[in-house]
Amino acid sequence: MPRSSPGSARSSTDGTKRRTHVSWISAMLSSDTLTSIWGNTARLVITPLTDRCYITLTQSLHLTMSGAPAGPAGTGKTETTKDLGRALGIMVYVFNCSEQMDYKSIGNIYKGLSQSGAWGCFDEFNRISIEVLSVVAVQVKCIQDAIRDRLTRFIFQGEEISLIPTVGIFITMNPGYAGRTE
Say what the pLDDT of residue 56 is: 93
pLDDT at 164 over 80: yes
Average pLDDT, the chain: 81
pLDDT at 17 over 80: no
Provide mean pLDDT across the span 100-129.
95
pTM of this structure: 0.73
Helices (H) and strands (E) in the chain, counts: 6, 7
Say what the pLDDT of residue 70 is: 84
pLDDT tens for 63-85 read 999 999 888 888 889 999 999 99
Say what the pLDDT of residue 162 is: 97
Residue 71's Cβ-count burial label (10 Å; 0-12, 13-18, 19+) is middle
13: left (phi over 0), alpha (psi -120 to 50) or beta: alpha
Percentage above 70 pLDDT, the chain: 74
pLDDT at 61 over 60: yes
Provide mean pLDDT across the span 23-52.
62
Percentage above 90 pLDDT, the chain: 57
Say what the pLDDT of residue 20 is: 43
Residue 37 to residues 13, 20, 23, 82, Cα–Cα distance (Å): 35, 23, 19, 19
- 94 — phi, psi (to 5°)? -105, 130
